[in-house]
């Protein structure tokens, strides 16, 4: 170390105080924002926008079919979530297993399904019955979607669940084992309930992502009865040569996702408080 | 003065915990270097010694939370170190109370005391709850059955942990520094419960730094240092007039920390919980 390192840097007093400077920057930001809004109002033809995105007659038409499509979106999502949760838990336990081949298998699965686009997985599953004649998923096409999306989300959930299990203190297992519980029972009765409590917020986020991913089922050849929101909106948009039905469908996703995001925020706040 | 018998095992069920030539290594580190002792029915044995002397490891080996490197341990004449032993069953006869309480935070106080009974011993819920309530009353927490562990003080949590062990109708309880994580003013309640248990004839093996408790309640004190039993015997002898120099040095540090000789790293007073060995 040379002695020059100990020489304090020369401090010069700023010309304007930092607080004043921050206020000026904020004022500039507001000005830009207002300018943008004014520009939009001046240039945008409201009537034109409405005729493309919000045509009243098409909104009414679309809304009539929305309940059925909304139901299908929910059915695809929840089914896939359940498959993902069960499979993800198994994968997480395999990743934490003492048995090395289990760990390898789980790692390969997770890396594969996290790396491959869900769309491709879904397409492949759609053709599975062609590749393997006689193979049929129950409740088709629901079964196909549940399996495909469930297997993809399981890969993501497995990592979350693993983190949750590892967040449960080791003493919990020791206390359970010292009561005479076998390892499996200690996992089921003591570790997993605590792990899932810890990871409820991230799992709910996964549910939100899955809700939107369920729109991917449009790549499967579906009958009208199996249309979910996006596919339903697209078909109506195409036949009417107008985007309004798709916009309405898009807003319907918010009916599902907004309460969920609200829920996540509340749970996270509560966990923060409990800490 | 050694309590090690010649025949292994003694075949006497009253010799509840029998430990023979127990060794435990963590990697290259030998934590236990040949421990042998027998704890008899109704006996209260306090294990004392400096941090890192292996006393917690010894206790954790007894119910196989740590796998011994070598040596044999018999619980009620059944060898828990036998690879074919039904370890889970043997553990149901032996409670354990931890330094950090380790109550199940997602269960109520009552459920903490019933889950072992209903899940492991398959006792009907109503019977299990009655049993749990009786034991919670015994530790002075009859009115907190519906609370969750996080709503209780450390001393209350540790008493629930004792009630949880008692609810399994155990023959013996292992205590791993039960008061080390407690605020000083809460230590007395827990020690009081333990004293009552001792008076009722519960077999107890207690790793502790509470010298006054050891002296008053223990039938026998084991002083460990460096992974071996340095000295054991009646508390009046081991604590009152120790024969070994190492015992004397340790007791001097613990009983009068302000006048401790150098080497402060081995102080036995307060400590910020080391991982496994202690």
| DSSP assignment string, A22-62 | HHHHHHHHHHHHHHHHHHHHHH--HHHHHHHH--HHHHHHH
- Least Cα distance to A66 among A201, A193, A231, A191 occurs for A231
Chain B residues with CB under 8 Å of A177 CB are: 65, 88, 91
Mean pLDDT of chain A: 89
Whether residue A41 lies inside any domain: the answer is no
Residue B238 reports pLDDT greater than 60: yes
- The single-letter DSSP state of residue B68 is -
Quote the mean pLDDT of chain B: 90
Distance between CA atoms of residues A162 and A97, nearest Å: 11
Fill in the DSSP letter of residue B124: -
State the Cα–Cα distance between residues A271 and A198, nearest whole angstrom.
8
Residue B266 pLDDT: 44
Q: How many whole angstroms separate alpha carbon B247 and alpha carbon B224?
A: 8
Interchain CB distance below 8 Å, B116 and A274:
no
- Identify the band that residue A157 occupies on the pLDDT scale cut at 50, 70 and 90: very high
Calculate helix-pair angle for A200-213, A244-274, nearest 10 degrees. Answer: 170
B224 closest CA partner among B254, B246, B257, B252: B246
pLDDT value of position B6: 57
Task: Please check whether residue A181 lies inside any domain of the structure.
Answer: yes
What's the pLDDT tens digit per position in A237-251?
A: 999 888 999 999 999
pLDDT in tens, B130-144: 999 999 999 999 999
What is the reported pLDDT for B197? 96
Using the predicted structure, report yes or no on whether residue B263 has a pLDDT greater than 70: no
| Chain A closest-CA separation from residue B104 CA (Å) | 7
pLDDT tens-place string over residues A255-274: 999 999 898 888 888 777 65
A44 exposed, middle or buried (CB, 10 Å; 0-12, 13-18, 19+)?
Answer: exposed
Q: Give the distance from residue A199's alpha carbon to the nearest chain B alpha carbon, in angstroms.
A: 14
Q: Is A271 on the interface with B (CB under 8 A)?
A: no
Tell which B residues from 102 to 131 touch A, by Cβ distance under 8 Å: 102-106, 115-116, 119-121
Per-residue confidence (pLDDT) for residue A140, from 0 to 100: 78
Domain with A228 in it: 57-274
**Taking a C-beta distance cutoff of 8 angstroms, is the pair B99, B180 a contact?**
yes
Of A182, A190, A274, the CB nearest to B104: A190
Pull the structure tokens for residue B217. Answer: 């309640």
Residue B275 has pLDDT above 60, yes or no: no
Mean of the pLDDT values across residues A75-81? 94
Q: How far apart are CA A98 and CA A87, in angstroms?
A: 19
* Rounded average pLDDT over B48-64: 94
The C-alpha of B84 sits at a distance from chain A's nearest C-alpha, in angstroms, of 15
**Measured between alpha carbons, how far is A214 from A66 in angstroms, rounded to an integer?**
15
Question: What is the structure's pLDDT at B7?
Answer: 60
pLDDT band of B191, cuts 50, 70, 90: very high
Angle, vertex CA B153, rays to CA B152 and CA B159, nearest 5:
85
Q: How far apart are CA A201 and CA B195, in angstroms?
A: 45
Give A-chain residues touching B150 at CB under 8 angstroms.
274
CATH number, position A142: 1.10.3720.10
Would you say residue A171 has pLDDT above 90?
yes
Taking alpha carbons only, the member of B227, B167, B217 closest to residue B196 is B217
Does residue A50 belong to any structural domain of this protein?
no
> Given CB atoms, is B92 within the 8 Å cutoff of chain A?
yes
Neighbours of B228 (CB within 10 A): 14
CB-nearest to A171 from B94, B100, B120 is: B100
Region of poorest pLDDT, from A10-24, B162-176, B178-192, B255-269: B255-269
Q: From residue B38, give the alpha-carbon distance in Å to each of B94, B164, B216.
A: 15, 25, 21
Angle B2-B6-B12 from CA coordinates, rounded to 5°: 95
In a domain, A7, yes or no: no
Whether residue B9 has a cis bond before it, omega within 30° of 0: yes
Average pLDDT over residues B42-53: 94
Closest to B232 (Cα-Cα) out of B31, B38, B8: B38
Query: B103 vs A175: CB contact, 8 Å cut-off?
Result: yes
The answer to whether position A6 is within a domain reads no
Q: Per the domain annotation, does A13 fall within a domain? A: no
B235-257 as b/e: b if 16+ CB within 10 A: beebbeebeeebbebbbebbeee
Assigned domain for A25 exists: no
Residue among B105, B163, B177, B273 with most chain A CBs within 10 A, to mutate: B105
Which stretch of A235-244, B191-200, B222-231 has the lowest confidence by average pLDDT? A235-244
Q: Looking at the 3D structure of chain A, how many domains does it have?
A: 1
A151 occurs within a structural domain = yes
């Amino acid at each position: 170390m040379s002695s020059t390192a100990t020489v304090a840097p020369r401090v010069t007093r700023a010309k304007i105080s930092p607080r004043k400077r921050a206020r000026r920057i904020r004022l500039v930001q507001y000005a830009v924002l207002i300018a943008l809004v004014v520009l939009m109002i001046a240039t945008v033809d409201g009537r034109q926008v409405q005729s493309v995105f919000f045509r009243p007659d098409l909104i009414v038409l679309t809304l009539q079919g929305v309940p059925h499509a909304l139901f299908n979106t929910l059915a695809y999502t929840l089914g896939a979530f359940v498959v993902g949760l069960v499979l993800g838990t198994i994968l997480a336990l395999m990743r934490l297993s003492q048995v090395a081949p289990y760990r390898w298998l789980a790692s390969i699965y997770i890396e594969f399904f996290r790396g491959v686009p869900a769309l491709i997985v879904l397409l492949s599953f759609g053709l599975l019955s062609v590749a393997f004649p006689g193979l049929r998923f129950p409740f088709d096409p629901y079964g196909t979607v549940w399996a495909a999306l469930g297997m993809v989300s399981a890969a993501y959930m497995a990592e979350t669940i693993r983190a949750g299990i590892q967040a449960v203190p080791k003493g919990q297992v020791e206390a359970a084992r010292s009561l005479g519980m076998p390892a499996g029972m200690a996992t089921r009765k003591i570790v997993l309930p605590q792990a899932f409590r810890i990871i409820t917020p991230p799992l709910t986020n996964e549910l939100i992502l899955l809700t939107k991913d369920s729109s991917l089922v449009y790549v499967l050849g579906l009958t009208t009865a199996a249309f979910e929101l996006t596919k339903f909106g697209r078909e109506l948009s195409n036949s009417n040569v107008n985007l309004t039905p798709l916009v309405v469908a898009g807003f319907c996703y918010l009916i599902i996702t907004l309460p969920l995001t609200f829920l996540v925020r509340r749970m996270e706040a509560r966990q923060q408080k409990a800490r | 003065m050694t309590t090690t018998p010649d025949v292994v095992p003694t075949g006497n069920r009253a010799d509840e915990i029998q430990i023979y030539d127990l060794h435990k290594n963590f990697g290259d580190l030998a934590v236990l270097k040949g421990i042998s002792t027998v704890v008899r029915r109704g006996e209260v044995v306090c294990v004392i010694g400096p941090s890192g002397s292996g006393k917690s490891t010894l206790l954790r080996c007894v119910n196989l939370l740590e796998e011994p490197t070598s040596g044999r341990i018999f619980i009620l004449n059944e060898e828990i170190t036998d690879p074919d032993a039904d370890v889970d069953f043997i553990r149901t006869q032996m409670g354990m109370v931890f330094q950090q309480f380790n109550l199940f935070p997602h269960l109520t106080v009552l459920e903490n005391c019933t889950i072992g009974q209903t899940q492991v011993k398959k006792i009907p819920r109503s019977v299990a709850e009655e049993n749990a309530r009786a034991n919670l009353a015994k530790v002075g927490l009859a009115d907190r059955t519906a609370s969750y562990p996080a709503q209780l003080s450390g001393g209350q949590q540790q008493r629930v942990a004792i009630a949880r062990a008692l609810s399994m109708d155990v023959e013996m309880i292992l205590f791993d520094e039960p008061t080390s994580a407690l605020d000083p003013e809460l230590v007395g309640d827990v020690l009081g419960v333990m004293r009552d248990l001792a008076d009722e004839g519960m077999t107890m093996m207690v790793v502790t730094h509470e010298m006054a408790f050891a002296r008053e309640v223990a039938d026998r004190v084991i002083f460990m240092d460096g992974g071996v039993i340095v000295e054991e015997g009646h508390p009046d002898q081991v604590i009152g007039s120790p024969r070994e120099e190492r015992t004397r040095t340790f007791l001097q540090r613990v009983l009068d920390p302000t006048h401790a000789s150098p080497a402060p790293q081995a102080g036995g007073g307060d400590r910020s919980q080391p991982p496994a060995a202690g």
